[in-house]
Amino acid sequence: MNYRFNFRDIWAQTDFILEGILVTLALTVVTMLSGLVIGTLGAAARVHGPRWLSTMVAAYVEVIRNTPLIVQLFLVFFGLPSAGIRLDAMTASMIALGINLGAYSTEIIRAGLEAIPRTQVEAGRCLGLSGVQVFRHVVLFPAIKVIYPALSSQFVLLMLGTSVVSQISAPDLFHVASIIQSRTFRDFEIYAVVSGIYLALALAMKLGFAAIHHLAFGRR
């Protein structure tokens, strides 16, 4: 092994890398929110909705979960323009990621809703709690507690998964890496550095979610 590693050219690009990190984080946060909204609506439709709606949501979940994210992204970015819908790379990324996460969170939230036995709700009503109180104390809080671990690890997977948007040239951290690669020809070095950054982001997210879990559910 007589390769000479050279990281100097990469340190020169720190500002550019920071921009990439910000885009990755922005994509992650926006997708977390839209995925949560889609997932909550989807789960509600699956559990409480009419038959036809429940079936449609189930089909959506199966189609998304059994096809790769990159193909979904290509369909939104390259496929939709032929239907007259032209999107820039960031919008297409947010839509594809949101639809993707929505399917996974629908399943997770549905499991949380189904984990609350009907008898618990009835017990709450018997104790004289109002409908809103029952929903808040008997359904919502325990359900969030059930889904929190699965949902938070899904969020970390999402953050790592956003790297795929580099393939349609959305300016995220991974795309920044490929531009720096073509500028400096330090291919191994840049991908090693960027991988390290993702690892740090993933660990930070895990620690953050663990801290929130401790604050919210620690007393019980």
DSSP-assigned states of every residue in the chain: -------HHHHTTHHHHHHHHHHHHHHHHHHHHHHHHHHHHHHHHHHHS-HHHHHHHHHHHHHHHTS-HHHHHHIIIIIGGGGT----HHHHHHHHHHHHHHHHHHHHHHHHHHTS-HHHHHHHHHTT--HHHIIIIIIIHHHHHHHHHHHHHHHHHHHHHGGGGGGGT--SHHHHHHHHHHHH--HHHHHHHHHHHHHHHHHHHHHHHHHHHHHHHTT-
Nearer to other proteins, 70 or 139 (CB): 70
* Contact residues: other proteins, CB under 8 A: 1, 3, 62-63, 65-72, 74-75, 78-83, 156, 160-161, 163-164, 166-167, 174, 177, 187-188, 191-192, 194-195, 198-199, 202-203
Nearer to other proteins, 64 or 143 (CB): 64
Nearer to other proteins, 67 or 133 (CB): 67
CB 33 to other proteins: min, Å: 21
Q: What is the CA radius of gyration of the chain?
A: 21
Integer Cα distance of 64 and 53 in angstroms: 17
Instruction: Pick the closest to residue 24 from 103, 105, 93 (CA basis).
Output: 93
CB 103 to other proteins: min, Å: 12
Nearer to other proteins, 191 or 209 (CB): 191
CB 75 to other proteins: min, Å: 5
CB 130 to other proteins: min, Å: 36
Start-to-end CA distance of the chain, whole Å, equals 55
Nearer to other proteins, 24 or 124 (CB): 24
Nearer to other proteins, 68 or 117 (CB): 68
CB 140 to other proteins: min, Å: 27
CB 11 to other proteins: min, Å: 19
